[in-house]
């Protein structure tokens, strides 16, 4: 007799992970072929991955070594994280944004990924409607659906820099089900790399407070902004939930460490949820991360590289026919409208990978409707790789 599988078992794939698998398979095939392996022109250029190509800063690695050598058991920590790290984050908010956040409103999590289910489960009930703009970071929708919440998608285009607007929310609120229960925003966002500016953040925060809508702001790409610094929603809202992580600016993806800034009423619920779901975030990562706040000089060198990569691609991609690009104000992504080149971005990316070894992510991951005419380039890699990608793309498009 066939056994039952859960509703959440039908959660869609996170397509970029499949592209990464295909790009890695290409790398393995190349390594096994002597002639190809000897030819640098056949190397895969990884512009699909949304992670820094650098490791954790030196100070963090040294702190991790010290923790290992100390002979400490490195057992579980308090569920909300070690006090020195929560205090370091409170100081980070003071120094970076001039915003006071008491350490006891900060919860350390297993990456931003681990923060999402905690935030959603603490704030919403099954069936609740959570609004977000399309295109979006796919796990928002996939996690919401897996947990029994209802994502409500608001189509955003180049005219609003692919970000949500109050007009979109008003239109939703005027519909049969009224305003949503929650709103997720991200600035800078993935995939478009665009930002919500101070007046837009203030407007969205005020609208949500007026309508009783729980606002969740994904600030994971803070620190990676090229035109003006990103503003935290905490400046404009007392009730918003902030999600952030050590993965991007701090270049610590595999350390699996993130955090939530919570309004008072959600601290204890999140503590109880995380005790049960995770027990605690990784201990060695927490101990090492305290040192991350003394590593800004090294991290700024990464930012300078991203800025150089961004400038190079914004100048070169149009010469390869990719001339409809989102503004790329932050993060390390360029979202390209390729509707004039293809109506099947999945096949386009597959060909780009197999014919010239440049891996990028089809827009379908982020926008199930219009995504077939978009793709996302990540410029988190080396500047030499970006220059080589531009060279290959120009040659490819010329053919």
Ligand X SMILES: Cc1ncc(COP(=O)(O)O)c(C=O)c1O
Residues that bind ligand X (CB under 6 A): 50, 111-113, 137, 186, 190, 218, 220, 245, 247, 253, 258
Considering beta carbons, is residue 119 or 338 the nearer one to ligand X? 119
Spatial separation of the C-alpha atoms in residues 107 and 121, rounded to whole Å: 15
Residue 188, preceding bond cis, omega within 30 degrees? yes
- CA dist 393 and 399 (Å) reads 10
What are 113's two structure tokens? Answer: 């990924």
Closer residue to ligand X, CB minimum distance, 160 or 342: 160
CA distance 399 to 395: 6
d(CA 272, CA 267): 9
How many Cα atoms sit within 13 Å of 49 on the Cβ side?
18
Least separation in angstroms between residue 252's CB and ligand X is: 9
Q: What are phi and psi of 212, to 5 degrees?
A: 70, 35
Residue 89 Cβ vs ligand X, minimum distance, rounded to whole Å: 14
DSSP-derived secondary structure for 376-391 = EEE--S-HHHHHHHHH
Residue closer to ligand X by CB (options 252, 393) is 252
Shortest spacing between CB 153 and ligand X, in angstroms: 16
Q: Which is nearer to ligand X, 250 or 348 (CB)?
A: 250
Closest approach, Cβ 225 to ligand X, in A, equals: 14
Residue 100 beta carbon to ligand X: minimum distance, rounded to whole angstroms: 24
Minimal distance, residue 289 CB to ligand X, in Å: 12
Nearest to 247 by CA among 256, 238, 239: 256
User: 135 or 357: whose CB is closer to ligand X?
Assistant: 135
Nearest Cα neighbor of 194 from 156, 251, 248, 235 is 156
Report yes or no: 171 and 223 within 8 Å, Cβ to Cβ: no
Cα distance between residue 372 and residue 337, in whole Å:
9
Q: Do residues 396 and 60 lie in contact, with contact meaning Cβ atoms separated by under 8 Å?
A: no
Residue 293 Cβ, how far from ligand X at the closest point, in Å? 17
Nearer to ligand X, 186 or 352 (CB): 186
Q: For ligand X, which is the closer residue by CB, 105 or 248?
A: 248
Q: In the complex, what is the shortest distance from the CB of residue 53 to ligand X, in angstroms, rounded to a whole number? A: 14
For residue 104, what are the contacts with CB-CB under 8 A and spacing of at least 6? 80, 86, 267
Q: 3-class SS at 150?
A: strand
Taking the complex as a whole, the smallest distance from the CB of residue 106 to ligand X amounts, in Å, to: 15
**Nearer to ligand X among residue 165 and residue 245 (C-beta):** 245
Four-residue CA torsion sign, 179, 184, 190, 196: positive
Whole-angstrom Cα Rg for the chain: 21
Residue facing ligand X at closest CB distance: 111
Which residue's CB is nearer to ligand X, number 14 or number 97? Answer: 14
């Amino acid at each position: 007799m066939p056994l039952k599988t859960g509703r959440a078992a039908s959660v869609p794939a996170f397509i970029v992970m499949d592209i990464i698998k295909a790009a890695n398979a290409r790398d393995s095939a190349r390594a096994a072929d002597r002639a190809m392996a000897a030819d640098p022109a056949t190397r895969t250029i990884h512009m699909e991955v949304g992670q820094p190509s650098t490791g954790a800063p030196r100070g963090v690695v040294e702190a991790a070594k010290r923790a290992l050598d100390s002979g400490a058991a490195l057992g579980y920590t308090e569920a909300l994280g070690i006090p020195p790290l929560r205090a370091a984050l409170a100081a980070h908010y003071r120094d970076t944004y001039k915003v006071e956040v008491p350490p006891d409103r900060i919860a350390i999590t297993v990456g931003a990924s681990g923060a999402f289910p905690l935030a959603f489960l603490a704030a919403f009930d099954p069936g609740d409607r959570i609004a977000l703009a399309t295109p979006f970071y796919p796990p928002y929708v996939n996690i919401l659906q897996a947990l029994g919440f209802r994502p409500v998608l608001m189509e955003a285009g180049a005219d609003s820099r692919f970000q949500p607007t109050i007009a979109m929310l008003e239109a939703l609120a005027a519909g049969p089900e009224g305003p949503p229960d929650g709103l997720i925003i991200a600035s800078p966002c993935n995939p478009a790399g665009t930002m919500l500016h101070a007046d837009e953040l203030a407007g969205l925060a005020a609208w949500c407070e007026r309508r009783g809508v729980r606002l969740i702001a994904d600030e994971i790409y803070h620190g990676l902004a090229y035109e003006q610094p990103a503003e935290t929603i905490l400046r404009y809202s007392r009730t918003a939930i902030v999600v952030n992580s050590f993965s991007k600016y701090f270049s610590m993806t595999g350390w699996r460490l993130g955090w939530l800034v919570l309004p008072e009423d959600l601290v204890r619920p999140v503590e109880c949820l995380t005790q049960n779901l995770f027990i605690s975030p990784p201990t060695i990562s927490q101990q090492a991360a305290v040192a991350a706040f003394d590593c800004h000089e090294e991290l700024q060198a990464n930012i300078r590289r991203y800025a150089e990569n961004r400038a190079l691609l914004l100048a070169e991609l149009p010469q390869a026919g990719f001339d409809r690009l989102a503004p790329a104000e932050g993060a390390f992504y360029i979202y390209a409208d390729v509707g004039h080149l293809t109506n099947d971005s999945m096949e386009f990316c597959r060909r780009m990978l197999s014919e010239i070894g440049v891996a990028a992510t089809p827009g379908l991951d982020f926008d199930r409707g219009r995504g077939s005419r978009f793709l996302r380039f990540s410029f988190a890699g080396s500047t030499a790789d970006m220059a080589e990608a531009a060279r290959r793309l120009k040659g490819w498009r010329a053919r």
